[in-house]
Copies of this chain bind each other. A is one copy, B any other.
């Protein structure tokens, strides 16, 4: 049995009572077995000192495109269409497995370094490139293999990738892979046929894995879908059977109050990505209070680093809170505790893994520690306030997934940071044309 002890920390449990305790967290074989005061002396294989630090559940990034970390800062401040047509698509055209592996490793390094322990992805080569990289780095991943039908799949036919996706889902289940959950990721209702959504929904339902899709990110998308189908995107998802309790809708920036209720009634979830939405100027502000009112689990996503430009969920928490307050002219909307819930419990619940979003006896030990002994985290009146409004990814000292230490004292243990960063720069230089880059 392997054991781990975090000593003398402030424990932001995120349990149902949102208790904040002072003491230890004890982990045995990846599960939390004690929280708070531990009676008697209990030695562990590894002990991490939590003095001056806060331990909380690891953050859940509910929408990203991890290999795109390679495109961080490539083509900012452009109209969405121009950015895609002149930068992202040409670069993605040259994106081979080696470049994707470099981008994925860089993304994993950043996730670990900034305290994200789980993420829901949408890209391609998820089985070939992402799964082994995640296993090796020790990060928990829901790997959505992306599908686009437009110009590729005959109408009425489900996307050809679906058979391989289901095989991958089954093999990960059969292997009882503790870290990897494959899932179908139809790109959007404006790019995928009904048959692809229907078959994705069957796989999602049958195997209990997410159906990961973009939904109502831009007005154009909403208008286009409505013009083609007579239905807005949420209704179109429902029409194909793809609005289910395992569905995760990324963005939902342009949804009506009626649509928030449909999402809630279906038990589907939303991945709110405020930083990307603002940076791409999609204009819509996801109606988070109405989604909450409708009982929707709303997690937080960074989206890809290409449109963010980080994978830092702490920053996303602050943006989420502040954008809602500003949008509603009401400073009481989305208070700090509610936002912290979104980044932890709610994201975990959206993935049907409540054991990941709380620190409690019996829960899985996905944990992060934030070092509060820093000028911008002093004085302390309210730990939750600092976590949401003052902390950043760089304040994370320790990241633990399933009881395994991925980073301690700021040092990543499962990846060679120097090598990963060098490989990413090398691959970026290889595949991104110099002429389209702003400077050296």
Interface residues of A (CB under 8 A from B): 10, 20, 22, 70, 72-74, 76-80, 83, 106, 109-110, 113-114, 275, 277-283, 285, 308-312, 315, 318-319, 321-323, 325-326, 328-336, 373-376, 378-386, 389-390, 392-395, 417, 420-421, 424-425, 427-429, 432, 437-440
Contacts of A73 in B (CB 8 A): 379-382, 385-386, 389-390
Smallest CB-CB A-B distances: 8 pairs: A379-B428, A382-B438, A394-B394, A77-B335, A73-B385, A278-B322, A281-B331, A283-B329
Q: Are B384 and A439 in contact (CB under 8 A)?
A: yes
Q: Are B78 and A332 in contact (CB under 8 A)?
A: yes
Q: Given A73-B380, A73-B381, A73-B386, do A323 and B438 touch, yes or no (CB 8 Å)? A: no
User: Number of copies of this chain in the oligomer?
Assistant: 2
Q: Are B325 and A76 in contact (CB under 8 A)?
A: no
For the complex, what is the distance from the CA of A62 to the CA of B22, rounded to whole Å?
39
Which residue of B has the minimal Cβ distance to A429?
B379
Contact of A281 among B10, B325, B421, B440 (CB under 8 A): B325
Contact of A331 among B106, B280, B385, B393 (CB under 8 A): B280
For the complex, what is the distance from the CA of A332 to the CA of B280, rounded to whole Å?
9
Q: Are A386 and B277 in contact (CB under 8 A)?
A: no
Q: Given A83-B331, A277-B326, A326-B283, do A22 and B440 touch, yes or no (CB 8 Å)? A: yes
Q: Are A438 and B385 in contact (CB under 8 A)?
A: yes
For the complex, what is the distance from the CA of A78 to the CA of B325, rounded to whole Å?
10
